[in-house]
Amino acid sequence: MRISIRLKLILAFFSIIVVGYLVIVYLFSESESKVLKQRAIDDLKTRANYSAEHLKHHLDALAKEVLFLSRLELMDDLIAMDIDKRVAHILQKKRKDIGRNVEFYAFDAAGNPVVAEKGAETDALYTALEGERSQKRRPIVFIFGKELVFAAPVYASFDESRLIGWLLLLQPLENLSADLQRTGGVLAWIVPPETLRPSLEQLFSPPEEEVLKRQYLYVTYPIGPPLEGWHLGYGLEKRIAFETIEQVQKILLFAFVVMLLLTSALTVMIDRRIIGPVRRLADTASKIVATNDYGMRVTPISKDEVGELAESFNRLMQKTAEAFEVIERQNRRHAQTLVGLMHFFSQMIQSETKEETIERACRELRRLTSAKAVTFSDDLTGERPGCLLLECNLESGKKRRVYGTICIEGATETMAMESRFFEAAARMISLQIERIELLQTTREALRSKTSFFSALSHELRTPLGSILSLTQFLMTSQQCDENAKETLGRIESSASHLLQIINDILTMAKAELGKLEPRPQPCDLVALAEESVEMIQPLAEAKGLTFRCDFAVDSYPARTDPKLFRQIVINLLANSVKYTFEGGIFIGFYPLADGIEIVIEDTGIGIEPEALKEVFTEFYREYRAKGSNEGSGLGLALSKKMAEALHGDLVIESEGAGRGSRAVFTLYVSRIPHPVLSR
């Protein structure tokens, strides 16, 4: 995706602003949060310490008050069961003085209540006291239900060793929370020991741990004696603790908005001063590329670097336009020269004789070079300046052959005077002369070959026919015994083999001369292939080979030469039988989209990879067939040429020695409907 400079600039500016703001907010929030958090924690610790000291001072005062009252001589009345109610009166007065719903209880040495009515509650209280009497601390402090109990023993004033009773002060536990500081949004609570939490949970109701962690900054502080294991909890809402940060973040957000506005204004200014001219420059360049109009220019709007860039662009376009004009003139001249050279070469290849070639070359060279004279000389004494040496490109190691020289006098065209042109022209003329001579030599050789094969056909086929006729006549004679018949049979076989070789040679000669002309007619290719199999199958069975067929269709009517088609299939099958000694032979007939394909596979001796290149060479034979000398080495070569004559192709494949071979005969023919078939 293409990103413009304007978008890149906007993204860069805004990225710097946003990232910078986020970094500042993050760093400030982190540092300031740590400071405010520590400050709030310290303040909560101070409050907790003060409240704990205040609570301990209050509890110590209550303990001292109990001890003081227990040592009054007035308490001797406990012996007389408080007959005049003086103890109850003084404790009632003290209760009013202390307030906070405290209660006083007095028991005699036997545990009978003196300043309280006897009941289940007083019995339970005294029982709890009995359990706490082992404490060495005075007064004894313990929890009774939802009350904090201060208990002091009362001794007789006239005998300090005589225990006459107990004085108890009961302080409601709910009063403990009344003295906690809760100013400034601070939350305070009391945490009892683990053993008392289930029974006192409803009384103190401390906040849940998850709520504290999520919404509060909090500390816990131990109260100490006489409330061992008790803690004070102080918490402050994070919203209140970090209120300062929120205010600063609002200020930073305002500053961020201001910076965005300033950045937008700066971006617009830079866009007008820098990006706008650069964009116009890029648009002009794109138009020049699209229209090839190098006359377009950019108008400088400033005298800074952007203006210098616009002026440099205009100078570049001016130089480019001039360079293209020069190139265009050269291209026109080169095109004219190329057309002339093409005409020169076309004239050369149309010549039929050496003299005609030289005559046309001189005429065309004079036209191309605008020379005063162009002459040919067969003077071979040496090379001369301004002359083209015509020589034959013979194989290395042989003597060079020179045809002559063509001299050009007074050439005026620049391109025509280049050395490469003269070299190409001389080479073209020499090649044409060489081609004409080779063609004449080939034609003469072909004519001689054709004459030789014609004479051979007349000189050899007639006596061979006589030999075959006489041999067959003698074999049918009554005077011919078995030994003579065997000898005559060998003579007949050899003569037939020799006649077949002569016929193959004549057919090859026709193919090379282009006289192997197919005679297409409607025929059934499947039927022709089956006939070929019927002819070769007995030979395979005689060698103990299996023969498998796979014809994908029952018939395939097409228009081709049935004789050549059948000969190709027979040659391929016979070749497979000849070089296969174990296993079998397979033939498959398969229709294609544009023709048919015949596949012949065998399990024979196979072909080496280097020998695959030579299988279609004339008179090439594979002599590894256990000493067999049968065959002329023309079968595959003839089959290849006949396949090409039928507009088909023949390919031989093998994976190596001992792995068999595979022949694929492809014939490109169209299936015809309802033909009059010929076999």
CA dihedral 172, 174, 177, 179 (to 10 degrees): -40
Residue 381, pLDDT score: 56
pLDDT tens, 452-507? 766 666 566 667 666 777 777 677 776 777 777 777 777 766 666 666 666 666 66
Question: Angle 5-70/276-291 helices, nearest 10 degrees?
Answer: 140
pLDDT tens, 396-449? 445 567 777 878 777 665 544 466 677 777 788 888 888 888 888 877 776 676
CB-CB contact of 624 with 641 (8 Å) = no
Task: Indicate if the pLDDT at residue 629 is higher than 60.
Answer: no
Residue 506, pLDDT score: 62
**Token pair recorded at residue 455:** 């004479």
Residue 526, pLDDT score: 92
Sign of the dihedral through C-alpha 431, 434, 436, 442? negative
**How far is residue 414's CA from residue 334's CA, in Å, rounded to a whole number?**
10
**How far is residue 573's CA from residue 565's CA, in Å, rounded to a whole number?**
13
**How far is residue 390's CA from residue 401's CA, in Å, rounded to a whole number?**
9
Residue 405, pLDDT score: 80
pLDDT grade for 623, boundaries at 50, 70 and 90: very low
Q: How far is CA 627 from CA 29, 524, 618, in A?
A: 101, 39, 20
pLDDT tens, 199-249? 777 777 777 778 777 778 888 888 888 788 888 888 877 777 666 666 776
Residue 624, pLDDT score: 46
**Token pair recorded at residue 545:** 């080979």
Task: Please tell me which residue, 429 or 623, carries the higher pLDDT value.
Answer: 429
CB-CB contact of 173 with 154 (8 Å) = no
**Token pair recorded at residue 321:** 């336009």
Reference 668, options 569, 587, 597; nearest CA is 597
Angle (CA) 142-148-154 rounded to 5° is: 65
Residue 599, pLDDT score: 94
Helix ranges, 71-133 (H):
86-98, 120-132
**How far is residue 94's CA from residue 61's CA, in Å, rounded to a whole number?**
13
pLDDT tens, 547-590? 999 999 999 999 998 888 988 898 889 889 988 999 999 999 99
Residue 98, pLDDT score: 76
Query: Is the bond preceding 226 in cis, omega lying within 30 degrees of 0?
Result: yes
pTM over 0.75: no
Strand 546-551 and strand 584-592: the pairing is parallel
pLDDT grade for 528, boundaries at 50, 70 and 90: very high
Task: Indicate if the pLDDT at residue 352 is higher than 70.
Answer: yes
pLDDT grade for 184, boundaries at 50, 70 and 90: low
pLDDT tens, 640-673? 888 888 889 999 888 888 888 999 999 999 888 7
Task: Indicate if the pLDDT at residue 394 is higher than 60.
Answer: no
Q: What's the one-letter identity of residue 439?
A: L
Residue 656, pLDDT score: 83
**How far is residue 518's CA from residue 47's CA, in Å, rounded to a whole number?**
120
pLDDT tens, 118-135? 566 788 888 888 887 776
Task: Please tell me which residue, 79 or 313, carries the higher pLDDT value.
Answer: 313
**How far is residue 169's CA from residue 149's CA, in Å, rounded to a whole number?**
6
At residue 385, the 3 state secondary structure works out as: coil
pLDDT tens, 271-299? 666 667 777 777 787 788 788 777 778 77
In this predicted structure, which of 13-22, 522-531, 572-581 has the lowest mean pLDDT?
Answer: 13-22
CB atoms within 10 A of CB 133: 10
| Cross-sheet strand order for the sheet of 216-224 | 186-191, 227-237, 216-224
pLDDT tens, 78-90? 666 554 567 777 7
CB atoms within 10 A of CB 674: 7
Query: What per-residue string of b and e applies to 345-383 under the rule 16 or more CB within 10 Å gives b?
Result: eebbeebeebeebbebbbebbbebbebeebebeeeeeee
Residue 423, pLDDT score: 75
In this predicted structure, which of 13-27, 96-110, 593-607 has the lowest mean pLDDT?
Answer: 13-27
Residue 586, pLDDT score: 94
3-state secondary structure 228-295: EEEEEEEEEEHHHHCHHHHHHHHHHHHHHHHHHHHHHHHHHHHHHHHHHHHHHHHHHHHHHHHHCCCC
**How far is residue 623's CA from residue 602's CA, in Å, rounded to a whole number?**
17
Task: Report long-range pairs for 448-455 (Cβ below 8 Å, ≥24 apart).
Answer: 449/509, 449/512, 450/509, 450/513, 453/505, 453/506, 453/509
Helix ranges, 271-407 (H):
276-291, 305-349, 354-369
In this predicted structure, which of 496-510, 532-546, 608-622, 645-659 has the lowest mean pLDDT?
Answer: 496-510
% of the chain beyond a pLDDT of 70: 75
**How far is residue 659's CA from residue 572's CA, in Å, rounded to a whole number?**
17
**How far is residue 189's CA from residue 207's CA, in Å, rounded to a whole number?**
8
**How far is residue 499's CA from residue 469's CA, in Å, rounded to a whole number?**
13
For the chain, the average pLDDT equals 76
**How far is residue 583's CA from residue 606's CA, in Å, rounded to a whole number?**
13
Q: Side-chain half-sphere of 377: how many Cα atoms within 13 Å?
A: 16
Residue 674, pLDDT score: 59
